[in-house]
Amino acid sequence: MLDGKSIAVVVPAYNESLLLKKTISSIPDYVDYICIVNDASTDETAKVIEQMHHPKINLISHGQNQGVGAAIISGYRRCMQLQADVIAVMAGDAQMDPHDLHAIVSPVVSDLADYCKGDRLSWKGVFKVMPLLRFFGNHALSLLTRITSGYLEVRDSQCGYTAISRHALTRLRLERIYARYGFPNDILAHLFTINARLSQVTVRPIYATEKSGISLYTAFIRVPLVLLRSYVFRLKHRPAKVKSLSPTSIERA
Ligand SMILES: Nc1nc2c(ncn2[C@@H]2O[C@H](COP(=O)(O)OP(=O)(O)OP(=O)(O)O)[C@@H](O)[C@H]2O)c(=O)[nH]1
Ligand SMILES: [Mg+2]
Protein backbone atom coordinates (compact mmCIF):
# COMPACT_ATOMS: atom_id res chain seq x y z
CA MET A 1 0.00 0.00 0.00
CA LEU A 2 1.07 3.55 -0.68
CA ASP A 3 -1.07 6.41 0.61
CA GLY A 4 -4.02 4.04 1.03
CA LYS A 5 -3.75 2.71 -2.54
CA SER A 6 -3.03 -0.96 -3.19
CA ILE A 7 -0.15 -1.59 -5.57
CA ALA A 8 0.31 -4.53 -7.91
CA VAL A 9 3.26 -5.42 -10.12
CA VAL A 10 2.82 -7.49 -13.28
CA VAL A 11 5.92 -9.47 -14.25
CA PRO A 12 5.82 -10.87 -17.80
CA ALA A 13 8.24 -13.78 -18.05
CA TYR A 14 9.38 -15.81 -21.01
CA ASN A 15 12.34 -18.11 -20.47
CA GLU A 16 13.54 -16.11 -17.48
CA SER A 17 14.72 -18.97 -15.25
CA LEU A 18 18.04 -17.21 -14.64
CA LEU A 19 16.77 -13.75 -13.66
CA LEU A 20 13.19 -14.13 -12.43
CA LYS A 21 14.07 -14.91 -8.82
CA LYS A 22 16.33 -11.86 -8.67
CA THR A 23 13.52 -9.71 -10.10
CA ILE A 24 10.87 -10.96 -7.67
CA SER A 25 13.05 -10.72 -4.57
CA SER A 26 13.89 -7.12 -5.42
CA ILE A 27 10.26 -5.94 -5.43
CA PRO A 28 9.70 -3.52 -2.52
CA ASP A 29 7.53 -4.44 0.50
CA TYR A 30 4.85 -1.81 -0.18
CA VAL A 31 3.74 -3.85 -3.21
CA ASP A 32 0.59 -5.84 -2.36
CA TYR A 33 0.33 -8.22 -5.32
CA ILE A 34 2.95 -9.69 -7.64
CA CYS A 35 1.38 -11.17 -10.73
CA ILE A 36 3.84 -13.32 -12.68
CA VAL A 37 2.76 -14.26 -16.18
CA ASN A 38 4.66 -17.27 -17.44
CA ASP A 39 4.25 -16.92 -21.20
CA ALA A 40 4.67 -20.64 -22.01
CA SER A 41 8.37 -20.66 -21.19
CA THR A 42 10.28 -23.65 -22.47
CA ASP A 43 13.07 -23.43 -19.88
CA GLU A 44 12.93 -23.91 -16.08
CA THR A 45 10.89 -20.75 -15.42
CA ALA A 46 7.86 -22.72 -14.09
CA LYS A 47 10.11 -24.65 -11.70
CA VAL A 48 11.78 -21.44 -10.46
CA ILE A 49 8.34 -19.92 -9.75
CA GLU A 50 7.20 -23.06 -7.92
CA GLN A 51 10.23 -22.90 -5.65
CA MET A 52 9.73 -19.26 -4.69
CA HIS A 53 6.88 -19.67 -2.11
CA HIS A 54 6.32 -15.92 -2.01
CA PRO A 55 2.98 -15.06 -0.29
CA LYS A 56 2.23 -12.17 -2.67
CA ILE A 57 2.67 -14.13 -5.89
CA ASN A 58 -0.32 -14.62 -8.16
CA LEU A 59 0.63 -16.87 -11.07
CA ILE A 60 -0.83 -16.93 -14.56
CA SER A 61 0.48 -19.60 -16.92
CA HIS A 62 -0.19 -19.23 -20.62
CA GLY A 63 -0.64 -22.59 -22.38
CA GLN A 64 0.88 -21.11 -25.54
CA ASN A 65 3.33 -18.27 -26.04
CA GLN A 66 1.32 -15.12 -26.75
CA GLY A 67 3.91 -12.34 -26.60
CA VAL A 68 4.96 -9.78 -24.05
CA GLY A 69 1.94 -7.50 -24.63
CA ALA A 70 -0.52 -10.37 -24.18
CA ALA A 71 1.32 -11.40 -21.01
CA ILE A 72 0.95 -7.88 -19.63
CA ILE A 73 -2.75 -7.78 -20.54
CA SER A 74 -3.35 -11.10 -18.75
CA GLY A 75 -1.63 -9.62 -15.71
CA TYR A 76 -3.66 -6.40 -15.93
CA ARG A 77 -6.90 -8.40 -16.00
CA ARG A 78 -5.91 -10.41 -12.94
CA CYS A 79 -4.88 -7.26 -11.04
CA MET A 80 -8.22 -5.63 -11.86
CA GLN A 81 -9.97 -8.68 -10.41
CA LEU A 82 -7.82 -8.28 -7.31
CA GLN A 83 -9.02 -4.64 -7.09
CA ALA A 84 -5.47 -3.25 -7.14
CA ASP A 85 -5.59 0.55 -7.44
CA VAL A 86 -2.27 1.04 -9.24
CA ILE A 87 -0.72 -1.58 -11.49
CA ALA A 88 2.95 -1.44 -12.50
CA VAL A 89 4.90 -3.56 -14.97
CA MET A 90 8.42 -4.82 -14.29
CA ALA A 91 9.99 -7.19 -16.81
CA GLY A 92 11.20 -10.55 -15.48
CA ASP A 93 14.76 -10.01 -16.69
CA ALA A 94 15.90 -7.74 -13.84
CA GLN A 95 16.37 -4.77 -16.22
CA MET A 96 14.24 -2.43 -14.16
CA ASP A 97 15.71 -0.89 -11.03
CA PRO A 98 13.34 -1.58 -8.09
CA HIS A 99 14.46 1.73 -6.54
CA ASP A 100 12.72 3.49 -9.42
CA LEU A 101 9.36 1.80 -8.76
CA HIS A 102 8.30 4.41 -6.21
CA ALA A 103 8.83 7.22 -8.70
CA ILE A 104 6.93 5.27 -11.37
CA VAL A 105 3.84 4.59 -9.24
CA SER A 106 3.76 7.89 -7.33
CA PRO A 107 2.10 10.14 -9.98
CA VAL A 108 -0.65 7.51 -10.36
CA VAL A 109 -1.03 7.00 -6.60
CA SER A 110 -1.46 10.72 -6.08
CA ASP A 111 -3.83 10.94 -9.08
CA LEU A 112 -1.63 13.38 -10.98
CA ALA A 113 -1.48 10.93 -13.87
CA ASP A 114 -3.39 7.95 -15.22
CA TYR A 115 -0.30 6.34 -16.77
CA CYS A 116 3.33 6.83 -15.87
CA LYS A 117 6.22 5.44 -17.88
CA GLY A 118 9.94 5.29 -17.41
CA ASP A 119 12.36 7.29 -19.50
CA ARG A 120 15.87 5.85 -19.72
CA LEU A 121 17.00 8.22 -22.45
CA SER A 122 17.05 11.16 -20.03
CA TRP A 123 19.31 9.29 -17.63
CA LYS A 124 22.70 10.97 -17.36
CA GLY A 125 25.24 8.68 -18.94
CA VAL A 126 22.68 6.54 -20.79
CA PHE A 127 24.96 6.74 -23.79
CA LYS A 128 27.55 4.64 -21.97
CA VAL A 129 25.07 2.02 -20.72
CA MET A 130 22.57 1.44 -23.52
CA PRO A 131 23.90 -0.39 -26.59
CA LEU A 132 24.39 2.10 -29.42
CA LEU A 133 21.93 0.55 -31.86
CA ARG A 134 19.23 0.55 -29.16
CA PHE A 135 20.04 4.15 -28.23
CA PHE A 136 19.57 5.47 -31.76
CA GLY A 137 16.76 3.05 -32.63
CA ASN A 138 14.90 4.09 -29.49
CA HIS A 139 15.27 7.77 -30.36
CA ALA A 140 13.87 7.12 -33.84
CA LEU A 141 10.93 5.05 -32.54
CA SER A 142 10.23 7.66 -29.86
CA LEU A 143 9.96 10.37 -32.53
CA LEU A 144 7.55 8.24 -34.55
CA THR A 145 5.55 7.35 -31.44
CA ARG A 146 5.01 11.06 -30.73
CA ILE A 147 3.20 11.30 -34.02
CA THR A 148 1.32 8.02 -33.85
CA SER A 149 0.26 8.17 -30.19
CA GLY A 150 -0.60 11.86 -30.05
CA TYR A 151 1.54 12.43 -26.94
CA LEU A 152 4.05 14.89 -28.37
CA GLU A 153 6.23 14.75 -25.27
CA VAL A 154 6.99 11.00 -25.42
CA ARG A 155 10.58 10.02 -24.68
CA ASP A 156 11.92 6.44 -24.60
CA SER A 157 8.82 4.91 -26.18
CA GLN A 158 10.33 1.43 -25.79
CA CYS A 159 10.54 1.54 -22.00
CA GLY A 160 8.29 -1.11 -20.47
CA TYR A 161 8.59 0.18 -16.89
CA THR A 162 5.12 1.64 -16.31
CA ALA A 163 2.23 2.16 -13.91
CA ILE A 164 -1.46 2.64 -14.68
CA SER A 165 -4.56 3.27 -12.59
CA ARG A 166 -7.27 0.63 -12.41
CA HIS A 167 -9.73 3.28 -13.52
CA ALA A 168 -7.79 3.95 -16.76
CA LEU A 169 -7.49 0.21 -17.40
CA THR A 170 -11.23 -0.29 -17.19
CA ARG A 171 -11.66 2.32 -19.94
CA LEU A 172 -9.15 0.79 -22.39
CA ARG A 173 -10.06 -1.79 -25.02
CA LEU A 174 -7.39 -4.20 -23.87
CA GLU A 175 -8.24 -6.82 -26.48
CA ARG A 176 -7.38 -4.34 -29.26
CA ILE A 177 -3.86 -3.48 -28.06
CA TYR A 178 -0.99 -5.13 -29.94
CA ALA A 179 0.06 -8.30 -28.13
CA ARG A 180 3.78 -8.52 -28.92
CA TYR A 181 6.70 -6.08 -29.10
CA GLY A 182 5.17 -2.73 -29.96
CA PHE A 183 2.77 -2.99 -27.02
CA PRO A 184 4.29 0.05 -25.18
CA ASN A 185 3.83 2.16 -28.34
CA ASP A 186 0.33 0.96 -29.07
CA ILE A 187 -0.99 1.37 -25.53
CA LEU A 188 0.02 5.05 -25.67
CA ALA A 189 -2.24 5.61 -28.69
CA HIS A 190 -5.08 3.84 -26.88
CA LEU A 191 -4.49 5.96 -23.77
CA PHE A 192 -4.59 9.13 -25.84
CA THR A 193 -8.06 8.25 -27.13
CA ILE A 194 -9.40 8.15 -23.57
CA ASN A 195 -7.71 11.45 -22.62
CA ALA A 196 -5.40 9.73 -20.15
CA ARG A 197 -2.89 11.97 -18.39
CA LEU A 198 0.68 10.83 -19.12
CA SER A 199 3.64 11.25 -16.82
CA GLN A 200 7.26 10.29 -17.51
CA VAL A 201 10.01 9.78 -14.97
CA THR A 202 13.70 9.24 -15.51
CA VAL A 203 14.75 5.68 -14.68
CA ARG A 204 18.10 3.93 -14.69
CA PRO A 205 18.88 1.88 -17.80
CA ILE A 206 20.21 -1.58 -16.93
CA TYR A 207 21.98 -3.85 -19.39
CA ALA A 208 23.72 -6.89 -17.92
CA THR A 209 23.54 -10.64 -18.51
CA GLU A 210 19.95 -10.79 -19.83
CA LYS A 211 19.17 -11.99 -23.35
CA SER A 212 16.97 -9.74 -25.43
CA GLY A 213 14.11 -11.17 -27.46
CA ILE A 214 14.15 -8.22 -29.86
CA SER A 215 15.51 -8.93 -33.32
CA LEU A 216 16.43 -6.40 -36.01
CA TYR A 217 13.31 -7.50 -37.89
CA THR A 218 11.18 -6.67 -34.85
CA ALA A 219 12.81 -3.29 -34.30
CA PHE A 220 12.89 -2.08 -37.88
CA ILE A 221 9.92 -3.82 -39.52
CA ARG A 222 7.45 -5.10 -36.97
CA VAL A 223 7.36 -2.15 -34.55
CA PRO A 224 7.08 0.49 -37.34
CA LEU A 225 4.11 -1.49 -38.75
CA VAL A 226 2.53 -1.53 -35.30
CA LEU A 227 3.04 2.23 -35.18
CA LEU A 228 1.18 2.63 -38.44
CA ARG A 229 -1.70 0.56 -37.05
CA SER A 230 -1.64 2.63 -33.86
CA TYR A 231 -1.83 5.85 -35.82
CA VAL A 232 -4.86 4.68 -37.77
CA PHE A 233 -6.55 3.57 -34.55
CA ARG A 234 -5.91 6.93 -32.90
CA LEU A 235 -7.22 8.91 -35.85
CA LYS A 236 -10.36 6.78 -35.92
CA HIS A 237 -10.97 7.19 -32.18
CA ARG A 238 -10.23 10.83 -31.59
CA PRO A 239 -10.52 11.82 -27.93
CA ALA A 240 -13.36 14.05 -26.86
CA LYS A 241 -12.06 17.57 -26.15
CA VAL A 242 -12.23 17.72 -22.34
CA LYS A 243 -9.81 20.34 -21.11
CA SER A 244 -9.36 19.17 -17.52
CA LEU A 245 -8.40 15.67 -18.66
CA SER A 246 -5.83 16.73 -21.26
CA PRO A 247 -2.48 14.89 -21.08
CA THR A 248 0.16 16.39 -18.83
CA SER A 249 3.75 15.50 -18.20
CA ILE A 250 5.34 15.41 -14.80
CA GLU A 251 9.07 15.46 -14.46
CA ARG A 252 10.95 13.81 -11.67
CA ALA A 253 13.26 16.11 -9.77
N1 LIG B 1 11.15 -12.26 -25.78
C2 LIG B 1 9.93 -12.41 -25.22
N3 LIG B 1 9.74 -11.90 -24.02
C4 LIG B 1 8.56 -12.09 -23.46
C5 LIG B 1 7.52 -12.79 -24.11
N6 LIG B 1 6.48 -12.85 -23.29
C7 LIG B 1 6.86 -12.24 -22.17
N8 LIG B 1 8.13 -11.75 -22.24
C9 LIG B 1 8.87 -10.98 -21.20
O10 LIG B 1 8.91 -9.62 -21.58
C11 LIG B 1 10.00 -8.94 -20.96
C12 LIG B 1 10.77 -8.09 -21.96
O13 LIG B 1 11.39 -8.89 -22.94
P14 LIG B 1 12.81 -8.54 -23.62
O15 LIG B 1 12.96 -9.46 -24.78
O16 LIG B 1 13.91 -8.59 -22.63
O17 LIG B 1 12.64 -7.06 -24.15
P18 LIG B 1 13.07 -5.69 -23.50
O19 LIG B 1 13.58 -5.90 -22.10
O20 LIG B 1 11.93 -4.78 -23.68
O21 LIG B 1 14.21 -5.19 -24.43
P22 LIG B 1 15.81 -5.26 -24.31
O23 LIG B 1 16.24 -3.88 -23.96
O24 LIG B 1 16.26 -5.67 -25.66
O25 LIG B 1 16.14 -6.29 -23.27
C26 LIG B 1 10.84 -10.03 -20.32
O27 LIG B 1 10.55 -10.06 -18.94
C28 LIG B 1 10.35 -11.30 -21.00
O29 LIG B 1 10.52 -12.42 -20.16
C30 LIG B 1 7.73 -13.31 -25.43
O31 LIG B 1 6.88 -13.90 -26.07
N32 LIG B 1 8.96 -13.08 -25.94
MG1 LIG C 1 15.13 -7.27 -21.71
Report CA(246)–ligand 2 centroid distance (Å): 32
The side-by-side arrangement of strands in the sheet containing 7-13 is: 57-61, 33-38, 7-13, 86-89, 162-165, 115-119, 198-202
Does residue 42 line the site of ligand 1, with CB under 6 A? no
Give the pLDDT confidence of 184-212 residue by residue, as tens digits: 999 999 999 999 999 999 999 999 888 88
* Domains of the chain with bracketed CATH: 7-245 (3.90.550.10)
Residue of minimum CA distance from atom 12 in ligand 1? 91
pTM for this model (two decimals):
0.94
pLDDT digits (tens, 9 = 90+) for 106-162: 999 999 999 999 999 999 999 999 999 899 999 999 999 999 999 999 999 999 999
Residue nearest to atom 24 of ligand 1 (CA): 212
